[in-house]
Structure 1
């Protein structure tokens, strides 16, 4: 073998193992000395590019049947006389009202978790993404499970697990079945360390980055299960996020994250995770109606719990078929006022994206039933603030009076509290029924990264790590939820690379992408303020001139 090729291959494998080492380490990596930190942003970008292609192929595959249905409907529609298409709103007496809410018993929620979250505990299985040669076949993201060779048959067509890793996982699973969860967690952490040292697959030099990531994702999910059994969801959270970063196409990873959020009483985020789990199950070819029904039940329970616990606002979902006119919006607001009279200080209608609900959604329909979301606030300032934030083109949330100056510590604390208490909770709730992710204002991803920067300035390292891991999980999932342009793909790659660099503790002079975007947003706001000030001054000046001119005319007439 050529020595140059060997060195190149070794460098590639080292990059992959460096990535695994970063993900296996605890959040304290942010506090490690610079000289022992290594970069893996380039490899993350490479994997992100590949996943964008896979996600696009998956959506094209699922859309084939939907396109046939669309053409059929269009053909049928052409035979009918054309008529003016208006917004179709269901009559007001049949609006979906979310209060009072039906109560889903905790036992039903726990049953879903037992069946779908704590699954396959008796066997060691690995969630590989099936790969296909470049023959035009569409890839799929259905998990291919490999039973541990020590307990059952193996499939030669799928990657072979390293023998030392097999032993470590077997011991960890044995402890788990004996309900020795703390010991099992320690052994699963040891397995992650083996991954970081290269002990993942039997033929490491032939292993793809995706296969390595799938094994590590499996171990992360086992750690999630251990910590949940130990009733320590705070320790499970980062592992849940990383399992999605490593394998975003597997629906159970999202459902496990939803369970962690539920245990932490973060119900809006749990609702979004459950919604994505249900969508991923359909997107990747899941055909078992019973599983989808259980996920939807879980999603519904999380939404209802989030609404019940909300104190500062109330909510109403209005089903519709086409774009709603302004007069219909006013009608919706009138109904909201009658239903929720205590929450009418400010009524906000979300035009940023369409919403879906678990009671009616059918991902295979064309399109699924959509809803308009209306929020009513007790505090007028909260509603105005949300309206102002959502109207911005770029996600900028600090009321920064000097956009070219640095934030003081007091300003940083104030902005952090504003984002943590007034912005992110509302955005999380909105996104609990809004599938599409994006990078615009109110999308939730950029906001979390900017929030992480504020935490970093205040040296709140543990919270910063958790927020960045969560944002990375969102970023890894975006290509599966919507079509993205080339420009958005490049932005996604930059965000993933910068987020990984931040987790590694790399410090350089370059601005993080999200901070640059925020700075541009501040400058844009500053320019708009200058424009408004100029126009107001011009209007006043014109009024004075007119007044002076009138006085002169009156004086001339009198003389």
Structure 2
């Protein structure tokens, strides 16, 4: 890409940020209703994308070292969020009535973001370093005070950069393989380049990553391997084979979950596969990781949020069986407020009221208003409404149990037949996981045990394995491992959760490598416990119903005896 086209693309991207991130009046297929609930007036009037002046205080960057037992599996230090002050918005003196709630209602149509703007974001952020061989630890060591220095740091050729003598020395055979692959890539011989990068990845897996392997740190080796994985992602995307890029995108995150571009590349792969809810979550995490790792360029953050917003738009526009409503709030939400929200939802979406669910397991954020530097950022309640009650009733288990299971297996002590496995796989893949992906597209964190989607994906992978669908199983497990590797960067986890996280990651690795140690996988144990729990609940319900019927019969017989005595 020449410098002129690069500058024009940058100008187009900057214009896109200013124009597209604000809500528009274009009408899309589905509306996203947003209404204010207990919000101070100053919060309603604020516009986070057009702030005047600079932030008064510098962001505090923090890191958190995971415990030794956990880091042995993840090989990565976790970043921990912290703030200097936590100022909660002042509570309102009186509650808003339902009529006032409706008067505050503001319907925001989904702004149509053109495909060209999405492609511009990908060209600026996903393919930015494709012309030069660089490693991900270069960017973290070079100061990024301006867009020019940021791009210069990203486009350094670390193989021919003597002024970067402080960088780890790359193995000479790996250098040759990467140079050949990079040359083929610049010549647009993407298939040949992919083969060369695969060769480089094999060398790296055999220990030929750094010149002094016994002195190299695990983070540097992971950064080199992650870089090669990302190059394979871009090669396959250029070849228009996103299905081949998917596992490499997941593995790049497992190797380096703190690098925001890895998540953005994953989002691009999901977009090419038409999996927009998952692409939205990847873009959200990319935006958060950019802030968490010290990214200070506002135009980069705006581009990522634009991409995130576009993916949410596509996901909600294509949804047919349910509708959603986001409700901003500033104070603690009580039961009466939830009922008011449901009343408003019923009036706005009368076709989606067979089953309604309000997610209380963690706050939601939207790209239009998110500001990670403020604690907490603007929070939203998510309300989902379904046309069919059967499509959403599984959400009850999310709010009532710590580790739910959503299969319909009624006999937990009998083996699962192939027909049952096929039916459960279709239920998980077509009804449950897509809804969980929509929930996760705007929820960054929450309780690890209540975080929807990760354990369910591993259980879904077990069903795929039973049906011998190996390729799909590998993709699902790699995606779950990427999610597990990212969790410590998104939230604080307890010692108990850390042990569960380690066990899940270890079993996932063993499954990918085909190891069978005779032990049952952790997620299958969780599923079995859930099935037994469901079975006990069914027995309890059956007992209570039988007891009620027995009591009614006794009362009826007693009344008959009294009547017969009176007649005599």
Q: TM-score range by the shorter chain?
A: 0.7 to 0.9
Q: Counterparts of 1:390-429 in structure 2 under 5 Å?
A: 390-429=399-438
What secondary structure does 1:204 align onto? coil
With the length of structure 1 as denominator, give the TM-score of the two structures: 0.82
What secondary structure does 1:67 align onto? coil
Classify 1:550/1:427 alpha carbon distance in 2 versus 1 (closer, same or farther; 3 Å). same
Q: Counterparts of 1:103-252 in structure 2 under 5 Å?
A: 103-128=112-137, 147-252=156-261
Separation in 1 of the partners of 2:153 and 2:471?
Answer: 34
- 1:504 is matched with which residue? 513
Separation in 2 of the partners of 1:226 and 1:95?
Answer: 47
Classify 1:415/1:313 alpha carbon distance in 2 versus 1 (closer, same or farther; 3 Å). same
> 1:386-405, CA deviations, whole angstroms, 9 ceiling, x for partnerless residues?
33555443231211111111
Classify 1:421/1:69 alpha carbon distance in 2 versus 1 (closer, same or farther; 3 Å). closer
Shift of 1:321: 1.1
Separation in 2 of the partners of 1:241 and 1:208?
Answer: 22
Classify 1:389/1:91 alpha carbon distance in 2 versus 1 (closer, same or farther; 3 Å). closer
- 2:102 is matched with which residue? 92
- 1:44 and 1:496 in contact (8 A); partners too: no
- Confirm or deny that 1:384 pairs with 2:393: yes
What secondary structure does 1:477 align onto? helix
Residue 338 (structure 1) aligned to one of 340, 347, 354: 347
What secondary structure does 1:68 align onto? coil
- 1:139 is matched with which residue? none
- 1:68 is matched with which residue? 85
> 1:424-465, CA deviations, whole angstroms, 9 ceiling, x for partnerless residues?
011111100010165535610000000000000000000000
- 2:144 is matched with which residue? none
Shift of 1:474: 0.2
- 1:138 is matched with which residue? none
Shift of 1:174: 1.4
Separation in 2 of the partners of 1:254 and 1:474?
Answer: 10
What secondary structure does 2:160 align onto? coil
- 2:280 and 2:312 in contact (8 A); partners too: yes
- 1:185 and 1:227 in contact (8 A); partners too: yes
What secondary structure does 2:394 align onto? helix
- Confirm or deny that 1:372 pairs with 2:389: no
**Bigger proportion of residues as helix:** 1
- Confirm or deny that 1:274 pairs with 2:291: no
- 1:160 and 1:202 in contact (8 A); partners too: yes
- 1:184 and 1:226 in contact (8 A); partners too: yes
Separation in 1 of the partners of 2:307 and 2:295?
Answer: 17
Separation in 1 of the partners of 2:92 and 2:121?
Answer: 46
Residue 289 (structure 1) aligned to one of 279, 298, 308: 298
- 1:437 and 1:443 in contact (8 A); partners too: no
- 2:225 and 2:255 in contact (8 A); partners too: yes
- 1:25 is matched with which residue? none
Classify 1:94/1:359 alpha carbon distance in 2 versus 1 (closer, same or farther; 3 Å). farther
Shift of 1:324: 2.1
Classify 1:530/1:408 alpha carbon distance in 2 versus 1 (closer, same or farther; 3 Å). same
Separation in 2 of the partners of 1:185 and 1:285?
Answer: 32
Separation in 1 of the partners of 2:517 and 2:430?
Answer: 31
What secondary structure does 1:462 align onto? helix
Classify 1:532/1:85 alpha carbon distance in 2 versus 1 (closer, same or farther; 3 Å). farther
> 1:352-376, CA deviations, whole angstroms, 9 ceiling, x for partnerless residues?
2211000001111121111111112
- 1:520 is matched with which residue? 529
Separation in 2 of the partners of 1:145 and 1:296?
Answer: 21
Residue 477 (structure 1) aligned to one of 461, 486, 504: 486
Separation in 2 of the partners of 1:315 and 1:115?
Answer: 31
What secondary structure does 2:162 align onto? coil
- 2:279 and 2:311 in contact (8 A); partners too: yes
With the length of structure 2 as denominator, give the TM-score of the two structures: 0.81
Separation in 2 of the partners of 1:455 and 1:68?
Answer: 47
Higher relative CO (Cα under 8 Å, sequence separation at least 6) belongs to 1
Shift of 1:93: 4.0
Classify 1:539/1:272 alpha carbon distance in 2 versus 1 (closer, same or farther; 3 Å). same
Q: Counterparts of 1:548-559 in structure 2 under 5 Å?
A: 548-553=557-562
Shift of 1:110: 0.7
- 1:314 and 1:375 in contact (8 A); partners too: yes
Classify 1:327/1:235 alpha carbon distance in 2 versus 1 (closer, same or farther; 3 Å). same
Classify 1:319/1:416 alpha carbon distance in 2 versus 1 (closer, same or farther; 3 Å). same
- 1:172 and 1:188 in contact (8 A); partners too: yes
Separation in 2 of the partners of 1:424 and 1:83?
Answer: 38
What secondary structure does 1:467 align onto? helix
What secondary structure does 1:203 align onto? coil
What secondary structure does 1:376 align onto? strand
Classify 1:130/1:170 alpha carbon distance in 2 versus 1 (closer, same or farther; 3 Å). closer
> 1:307-333, CA deviations, whole angstroms, 9 ceiling, x for partnerless residues?
111111111111111222223222222
Separation in 1 of the partners of 2:466 and 2:341?
Answer: 43
Unaligned runs of at least 5 residues, structure 2: 1-67, 142-151
Shift of 1:555: 5.2
- 1:161 and 1:201 in contact (8 A); partners too: yes
Shift of 1:149: 4.8
- Confirm or deny that 1:314 pairs with 2:323: yes
Separation in 2 of the partners of 1:320 and 1:171?
Answer: 55
Shift of 1:195: 0.4
Shift of 1:130: 9.7
